């Protein structure tokens, strides 16, 4: 159980940061008599919000996200592999080439099926 | 080279799946002039089905080849153990899975174009899912087990929802996906706990750790092992659709395209049984857990009795033949579970279950295939009334349907008869008289609803004025039915050879 104490300390600090920041803002804020309408807007000195956030997104975003995940996963595996290649030797290089080739096939498939066509 | 040879069934299906995927993506759409399509594989279901079936048959042949060469004589195979354990048990199951997958692919070659489901993704997905199922039957490590389980399931989730315009298919896919991921999460929790309790991810190491409980110096907690056993059993009982984890089955089979339902009923179930046997016998094979008094056998016995009884009683009340076949698959999971319980005492029971699942695979795939032949575009045969008079309009389909139903009911001289015989005999040999008798009684109840189909096929005429289901003809479905019929008769009349192969597949418990 000893080894978990740093985790508990980390949890305590992480949660207290949020509480302290919100609490400090509440204590230190300047109370205005009148709140001008611009101050209550979503962005006080930015773009006027148009429409609601609850809208339908085109499935195209979903396809792009999938292709993104393809490369994301590749990177996740490549990083630790790059660190360990020297120790693992030539076999690991061949294995990674196979892995990347299979992922590339997935990308070629997505491309041929028109997942990257933005019209 | 020996390593590649030993892994060749897996490599053949895996590489084949990737090639088929490319073929589908780079093919020229085969559509009527003037029809716009962005889908490169459109209208190519026939070629792709043939390709998928050939790849899976190659996988099945290679499984037999490695079986004959003997995985024991390939010492290089220990390099991939325990992540993939290539033994005769694995090879027998990968043969069964390839046969089931090939039959489903052939059925799809006829079914998808007929019903206007022009989704050529079916075939690569089917192959990739089969790779997962084969890896599942070989998994000797918790990590491979989970990854293989998900590979298998992800393909199936999309296969079910293939009929995109249909709300019923969407419901089926979503139901199976939500319940499936829930069950997978429960099982993953059990696997994590198992690793936490024993410090091993390989099943053999877990088995040794479980055996050390109670000996001086052992730090393995019996409570954690029991909890993880329950969680893993729940997850796998969902995949084999044993009562009370079966509610998704009829809805999913009904909403799915029939070939996808076939694949779920045969391959997913067989792979789940393979991994169930391996986890229980290798991981929880300790005599304190694998005994009639405590551990998994009594729990599985309850699941077996519930599955047989509930499914048989409910199946008799179904009006849809597809739902009836879904309940029949639940009942068959119950019969096979009887064999799994018997496996605690006799290694022979493992071979009996393996043989049973092969027999079940060919009979069920055949029955679904015959059902496909009874309907046609826009009018899928669904209810018993749709089957009325098919015996006259399409005698071959009715004859094949009857053969497969005989086999499912367990009547000689079919594969199903010997499957049931061996499972119940090993149960009696292991002293499980009550289970064996309950199984026999249930087989008699089951015969009622299988024979009811035949009554409609041969003895009923369509009601006057009712629309007659037009039967379809398809070379693909016919090929699948002939192949399945040959298997059913061969396993039923000359089971010796296959049974010898199955008996080599025995896993030993301790």
For residue B304, how many C-alpha atoms fall within 13 Å in the half-sphere facing its CB?
Answer: 26
Q: Is the pLDDT of residue B424 over 90?
A: yes
Amino acid B36: pLDDT = 65
Sorting pLDDT into bands at 50, 70 and 90, what band is B77? confident
pLDDT at A88 > cutoff 90: no
Cα of B22 to nearest chain A Cα, Å: 7
Residues of chain B above pLDDT 70, percent: 97
B57, B13 Cβ separation under 8 angstroms: no
**Residue B510: is its pLDDT beyond 50?**
no
Average pLDDT of the segment spanning B347-375: 93
Per-residue confidence (pLDDT) for residue B39, from 0 to 100? 66
User: How much of chain A exceeds pLDDT 70, in percent?
Assistant: 98
Task: Identify the band that residue B81 occupies on the pLDDT scale cut at 50, 70 and 90.
Answer: confident
Q: Min CA distance, A114 vs chain B (Å)? A: 7
Q: What residue of B is the nearest CA neighbor of A101?
A: B18
Whether the Cβ atoms of residue B407 and residue B488 lie closer than 8 Å to each other: yes
Neighbours of B305 (CB within 10 A): 20
Q: Which CATH class is domain A2-112?
A: mainly alpha
Q: Band of the pLDDT at B404, cuts 50, 70, 90?
A: very high
Q: What is the ipTM of this complex?
A: 0.79
* Best residue of A109, A115, A118 to probe chain B, by most B CBs closer than 10 Å: A109
Q: What are the Cα distances from residue A91, in Å, to A94, B7, B365? A: 5, 17, 42
Residue B510's SS3 state is: coil
What is the predicted pLDDT for the residue at B119?
82
Q: Do A105 and B22 touch (CB under 8 A)?
A: yes
Domain ranges of chain A: 2-112
Is some CB atom of chain B closer than 8 A to the CB atom of A101? Answer: no
> Where are chain B's structural domains?
2-30+38-504
B265-274, B357-366, B428-437, B499-508: which has the minimum mean pLDDT?
A: B499-508
Tell the residue number behind the tokens 């669904």, with chain if given.
Answer: B382
Q: What are the tens digits of pLDDT across the range A53-70?
A: 788 878 788 888 888 888
Q: Determine contact: A71 vs chain B, CB below 8 A.
A: no
- Nearest by CB to B25, which of A102, A108, A117? A108
The overall average pLDDT reported for chain A is 86
Which residues on A lie below 8 Å from B15 (Cβ)? Answer: none
Q: Is A113–B21 a contact, with Cβ atoms under 8 angstroms apart?
A: no
Of A109, A114, A117, the CB nearest to B21: A109
| Chain A: residue whose CA lies nearest to B26 | A112
DSSP string, B43-91: T-HHHHHHHHHHHHHHHHHHHHHHHHH-GGG-GGGGGTTTTB--SHHHH
Q: Does A108 contact chain B (CB < 8 Å)? A: yes
pLDDT category at B378 given cuts 50, 70, 90 is: confident
Most confident of A58-67, B9-18, B63-72, B288-297: B9-18
Question: Which single residue is written with the structure tokens 């190659």?
Answer: B58
User: In angstroms, rounded to a whole number, what is the distance separating the alpha carbons of residues B338 and B321?
Assistant: 26
B477 in Cβ contact with B107 (< 8 Å): yes
Distance between CA atoms of residues B458 and A82, nearest Å: 68
For the segment B108-123, the average pLDDT, to the nearest whole number, is 89
Q: Across residues A21-33, what is the average pLDDT?
A: 87
Q: Which of A110, A112, A115 to mutate to test the interface with B (most CBs of B within 10 A)?
A: A112
Inter-chain CB pairs, A–B, below 8 Å: 18
Q: Which of chain B's residues have a Cβ under 8 Å away from the Cβ of A108?
A: 22, 25
Q: Residue B474 has what pLDDT?
A: 87
DSSP B279: I
- pLDDT classification of B345: cutoffs 50, 70, 90: confident
Chain B hits for A112, Cβ within 8 Å: 25-26, 40
Q: Is A109 touching B (CB cutoff 8 A)?
A: yes
When pLDDT is cut at 50, 70 and 90, the band that residue A73 belongs to is confident
Q: Judge contact between B484 and B365, C-beta under 8 A.
A: yes
Kindly report, residue by residue over B41-64, the tens digit of the pLDDT.
677 888 899 999 999 999 999 999
Q: What angle do CA B193, B198, B202 make, to 5 degrees?
A: 95
Question: CB distance A108–B40 less than 8 Å?
Answer: no
State the pLDDT at residue B363. Answer: 96
Which of A105, A112, A117 lies closest to B40 in CB terms? A112
pLDDT score of B509 more than 50: no
Whole-number average pLDDT of chain B: 90
Q: Which pLDDT value is given to residue B420? A: 94
Instruction: Name which residue leads in pLDDT, B222 or A14.
Output: A14
Q: Residue B68, CB half-sphere, CA atoms under 13 Å: how many?
A: 7
Give the B-side interface with A, CB within 8 Å.
18, 21-22, 25-26, 38-40
Question: How far is the alpha carbon of A108 from chain B, nearest alpha carbon, in Å?
Answer: 8
Indicate if the pLDDT at residue B508 is higher than 70.
no
Helix-helix angle B433-459:B395-409, to 10 degrees: 170
Instruction: Output the CA torsion B52→B53→B59→B60 (10° steps).
Output: 160
The predicted-structure confidence for B130-150, as pLDDT tens digits, reads as follows 999 999 999 999 999 999 999
Report the C-alpha dihedral over residues B49, B50, B55, B57, rounded to 10 degrees: 110
| Residue B38 confidence (pLDDT) | 61
Contact B102, B57 (CB under 8 A): yes
Distance from CA of A10 to the nearest CA of B (A): 23
């Amino acid at each position: 159980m000893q080894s978990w104490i740093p985790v508990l300390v980390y949890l305590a600090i992480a949660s207290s940061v949020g509480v302290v920041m919100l609490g400090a803002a509440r204590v230190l804020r300047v109370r205005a008599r009148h709140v001008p309408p611009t101050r209550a807007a979503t962005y006080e000195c930015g773009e006027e919000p148009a429409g609601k956030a609850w809208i339908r997104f085109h499935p195209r975003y979903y396809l792009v996200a999938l292709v993104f995940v393809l490369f994301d996963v590749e990177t996740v595996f490549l990083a630790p592999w790059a660190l360990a290649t020297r120790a693992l030797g030539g076999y690991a290089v061949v294995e990674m080439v196979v892995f990347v080739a299979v992922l590339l096939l997935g990308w070629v498939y997505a491309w041929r099926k028109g997942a990257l066509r933005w019209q | 080279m020996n390593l590649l040879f030993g892994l060749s069934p897996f490599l053949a299906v895996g590489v084949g799946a990737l090639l088929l995927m490319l073929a589908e993506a780079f093919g020229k759409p085969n559509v009527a002039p003037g029809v716009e399509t962005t889908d490169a594989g459109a209208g190519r279901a026939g070629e792709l089905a043939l390709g998928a079936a050939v790849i899976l048959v190659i996988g099945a042949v290679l499984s037999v080849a490695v079986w004959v060469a003997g995985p024991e004589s390939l010492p290089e195979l220990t390099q991939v153990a325990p992540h993939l354990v290539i033994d005769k048990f694995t090879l027998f199951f990968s043969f069964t899975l390839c046969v089931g997958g090939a039959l489903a692919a052939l059925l799809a070659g006829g079914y998808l174009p007929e019903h206007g489901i022009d989704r050529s993704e079916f075939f690569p997905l089917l192959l990739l899912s089969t790779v997962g199922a084969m890896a599942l039957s070989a998994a000797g490590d918790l990590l491979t087990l989970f990854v293989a389980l998900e590979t298998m399931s992800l393909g199936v989730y999309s296969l079910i929802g293939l009929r995109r315009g249909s709300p019923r298919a969407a419901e089926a896919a979503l139901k199976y996906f939500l319940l499936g991921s829930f069950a997978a999460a429960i099982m993953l929790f059990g696997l994590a706990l198992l690793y936490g309790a024993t410090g091993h991810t390989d099943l053999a190491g877990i088995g040794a750790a479980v055996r050390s409980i109670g000996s001086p110096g052992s730090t393995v907690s019996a409570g954690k092992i029991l909890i993880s056993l329950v969680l893993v059993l729940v997850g796998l009982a969902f995949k084999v659709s044993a009562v009370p984890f079966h509610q998704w089955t009829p809805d999913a089979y009904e909403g799915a395209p029939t070939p996808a339902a076939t694949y779920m009923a045969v391959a997913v179930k067989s792979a789940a049984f393979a991994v169930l046997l391996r986890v229980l016998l290798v991981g929880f094979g300790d005599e304190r857990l694998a005994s009639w008094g405590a551990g998994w056998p009594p729990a599985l016995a309850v699941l077996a009795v519930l599955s047989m009884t509930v499914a048989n009683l409910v199946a008799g009340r179904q009006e849809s033949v597809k739902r009836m076949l879904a309940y029949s698959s639940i009942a068959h999971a119950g019969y096979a579970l009887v064999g799994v319980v018997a496996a605690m005492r006799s290694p022979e029971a493992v071979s009996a279950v393996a043989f049973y699942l092969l027999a079940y695979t060919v009979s069920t795939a055949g029955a679904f295939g015959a059902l496909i032949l009874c309907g046609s575009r826009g009018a899928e045969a669904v209810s018993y009334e749709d089957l009325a008079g098919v015996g006259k309009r399409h005698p071959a389909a009715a004859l094949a349907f009857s053969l497969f139903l005989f086999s499912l009911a367990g009547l000689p001289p079919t594969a199903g008869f010997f499957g049931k015989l061996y499972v119940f005999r090993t149960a009696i040999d292991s002293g499980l008289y009550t289970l064996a008798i309950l199984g026999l009684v249930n087989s008699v109840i089951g015969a009622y609803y299988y024979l009811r189909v035949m009554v409609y096929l041969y003895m009923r005429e369509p009601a006057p004025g009712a629309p007659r289901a037009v039967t379809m003809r398809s070379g693909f479905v016919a090929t699948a039915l002939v192949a399945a019929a040959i298997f059913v008769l061969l396993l039923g009349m000359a089971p010796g050879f296959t049974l010898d192969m199955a008996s080599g597949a025995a896993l030993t418990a301790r």
